[in-house]
Structure 1
């Protein structure tokens, strides 16, 4: 298996794991929040869609521009040869503010956002077939927080980002279950 297909499969596994964790949630459960300013699972899922869609569009635009000569074909970056985890460690604060373009903003049904997030795997698969191995280390479009990344790092970011929010969802589910147990034990709460 080549490097590109392994990266794509890593994203597919992260996506499948995320979607399996939320598959059985009701609309009400997906909208539950432990506090007003926290995102609920529906909002996290919508955010994942917007962030990945923007990342895929940006990668494809960059790749097309590089191939057409409209963008410099460069291998230089402050983050050259770093894993995405190393880049995040260097560039992110503990709690980042989401760029507006990736913020949840439309709401709608939980089923819609789960389906929309799943649909991006097909787009990523096609992109992976288009991308050539000698292009992996070319600088892609910058990430809004981390800055310059190559295509390898941008695809790694998709996996990292889904996994990061899968962990957040696991925490929300744990809090939700704890709240339900407290109510069942003491209906006066």
Structure 2
């Protein structure tokens, strides 16, 4: 379970960073559009929650599939490059808001708990490298890279929030 423990650590570190950035915000700051044509911090957090729920569903779906031999590795770390812009798939776009900081922290905690419950039940973690599920940006993505992408995606948005806070 060495791999799962590493993922738990990386997921926890990304979440701690995110919570550090949002926990001191009041509702007005959380919902303010600090930069034109950008989401509010609350919307970013809602997007992160929706994404984690979707990723967990993809992993659960994948775990029910048969391994495939040609699930190639993808360069998911590109998500950390703030210069590379992405448009979220419609299914992962946030609601309009307004949002409450405590409610979104609660939602994020719940989605993380669901993900961790799935991960700790995996008996043979090698299967994570052998099963791929289609990702809207990366195509067939091995399950272990879905997990890596999740915490990198959260890191990306925590950095974005940090920058947005300077405009509040």
- TM-score when normalising by structure 1: 0.79
- In the TM superposition, residue 100 of structure 1 has moved relative to its aligned partner by 0.8
- In the TM superposition, residue 94 of structure 1 has moved relative to its aligned partner by 2.1
Contact 1:139/1:148, CA 8 A, preserved across alignment? no
Unaligned runs of 5+ in 1: 67-71, 177-189
- In the TM superposition, residue 97 of structure 1 has moved relative to its aligned partner by 1.1
* Match for residue 157 of structure 2 among 154, 165, 174: 165
Unaligned runs of 5+ in 2: none
- In the TM superposition, residue 24 of structure 1 has moved relative to its aligned partner by 1.3
SS in 1 for 2:141: coil
In 1, distance between residues paired with 2:7 and 2:69? Answer: 19
Contact 2:52/2:112, CA 8 A, preserved across alignment? no
In 2, distance between residues paired with 1:19 and 1:152? Answer: 24
C-alpha RMSD of matched pairs (Å): 2.0
In 1, distance between residues paired with 2:105 and 2:142? Answer: 28
- TM-score when normalising by structure 2: 0.88
In 1, distance between residues paired with 2:88 and 2:75? Answer: 21
- Whichever of the two has the greater Rg, that structure is 1
Distance 1:31 1:106, change over 3 A: closer
Range that drifts further, 49-58 or 131-140: 131-140
Query: Residue by residue, what CA displacement relative to the aligned partner does 1:17-57 show, whole Å, maximum 9, x if unpaired?
Result: 10121101100010111234211100000000001100101
> Aligned pair count?
164
Query: Residue by residue, what CA displacement relative to the aligned partner does 1:146-170 show, whole Å, maximum 9, x if unpaired?
Result: 1111111111011101000000000
Q: Which has the higher strand share?
A: 2
Identify the residue that residue 19 of structure 2 maps to in structure 1.
Answer: 19
Identify the residue that residue 175 of structure 1 maps to in structure 2.
Answer: 167
